[in-house]
Amino acid sequence: MRVRVDGEVCEAEEGQTVAGVLLAAGRNSWRSTRRGGRPRGVFCGIGVCFDCLVVVNGVPDVRACQRRVEPDDEIRTQHGAELPS
């Protein structure tokens, strides 16, 4: 299947999580914190820490390690706190 990551088309397979896709593509951070602007990616990997947040189809605060990709998902970096679009 294909998804888009920050506007670029990316190959993904059924059963992959957003974090799985991003890490396999060589990225290890995709969020900046709202106070310090610090980069963050996966930390706990099992849905506990809420560090790997990403925007999926316009909805922010989605845990990349828990969310399975679906065809044509629009995935993008989350900058601090965002409102759903």
Buried residues in 10-21 as b, exposed as e (16+ CB within 10 A) = bebeeebbbbbb
> Binding marks (x or -) toward another protein, 2..41, rule CB under 8 A?
-----------xxxxx-xx--xx---xx---xxxx-xxxx
Site for another protein in 53-82 (CB under 8 A): 53, 56, 59, 61-63, 65-68, 70, 80-82
> Residue ranges of the alpha helices (H) in the chain?
18-24
Residue 37 identity (one-letter amino acid): G
Taking residues 37 to 56 in sequence order and writing x for each that binds another protein by CB under 8 A, - otherwise, the string is -xxxxxxxxxxxxxx-x--x
